[in-house]
Amino acid sequence: MNSHMSAFMDYLDFEKGLSVNTRAAYSRDLGKFFGFIKETQKYNSLDEITKHDIIAFLAWQMDSGAEYSTIARSLSSIKTFYKFLVLDGFIAINPAGDLETPKIKRKLPRVLSVEEVDKLMEVPNVILPLGLRDRAMLELMYGTGIRVSELLSLQVDDINLTAGFLRCFGKGRKERIIPVNQTAIDWVHRYLARSRNLLVKANSERTLFLNSRGRTLSRQGFFKILTGYVQTADIHKDVTPHTLRHSFATHLLENGADLRAVQEMLGHADISTTQIYTHLTRSRLREVYQQFHPRA
């Protein structure tokens, strides 16, 4: 089992190009599955596991109170693992082959209003090096819609301040080019001119945004920074780094942006992923209608 899992992790890394966090999620899901099999069955090999064992595991998760999204992700991990085993000739029959992943109704993402974004951006003390860095990060994240992992992995050479574009690598290490608005360009320029040289410790370091020790800022570090600013701005919403990405997409569509263009900027492989934001804009239209139409 360990050798199969090791080979599968290599496959996810080198052939699928998945991130460390995604690979860890696969590993956790499969660990729970095989832990369940070990406790309930006396099998000696993968070949003995059947479709009914997989269904029993999913039913056990449901009885344990797991969210439907968690159960769907578990099945997706199992299906991907068994598909890999068949393709590489480790087993002959895929017990998960004809199991369908349940369609989960997506929750509408929480977004900030334009006014709340403005309040958030004004909080960092830009007189201080770290405050200026934080303002540049927030402006760039909201101005481009990039993921927090993409933001923190940006290199100095990945952003062209003159042309107004940045290059980032998304899921599956897919490269995309995104336009950057002038406001974000100005703040990044100020950060590079006044702050980054005070934070960097080694001339060879090319990561754009650095922590106080001159190293790459962690996701946990960014989340802590954002949470502090949200509280100071007196914004009473659960705001995560992804909220800025959701707000970016929603505000573009509310102002008439093309859905395909937003899809490309977000790096969504399937436009159905982007279409969730159209539900938000329709909700906003209904609110406006109810508020302003004389017969609403």
Cβ contact 132:190 at 8 Å: yes
In the residue annotation, 277 being an active-site residue is answered as yes
Q: Which of 73, 196, 245, 246 is catalytic?
A: 245
Measured at the alpha carbon of residue 134, what is the angle toward residues 240 and 250, in degrees to the nearest 5?
A: 45
Q: Helix, strand or coil for residue 226?
A: helix
Tokens of 101: 């992943």
Set 79, 135, 147, 246: catalytic member: 147
Token readout for 213 is 């020790």
Catalytic: which of 83, 242, 279, 286?
Answer: 242
- Contact by Cβ (8 Å): 296, 290: yes
Q: Please identify which of the residues 16, 171, 189, 215 carries the catalytic annotation.
A: 171
Q: Rounded CA gap, 69 and 73, in Å?
A: 6
To the query of whether residue 246 is one of the catalytic residues in this protein, the response is no
For residue 248, give the nearest of 184, 154, 204, 167 by alpha carbon. 184
Tell me if residue 268 is catalytic. yes
What is the dihedral sign for C-alpha 136, 137, 138, 142?
A: positive
245 noted as active-site residue: yes
Query: Which residue type occupies 3?
Result: S
The rounded distance, in Å, linking the Cα atoms of 92 and 98 is 15
Any idea which residues carry the catalytic annotation?
A: 147, 171, 242, 245, 268, 277
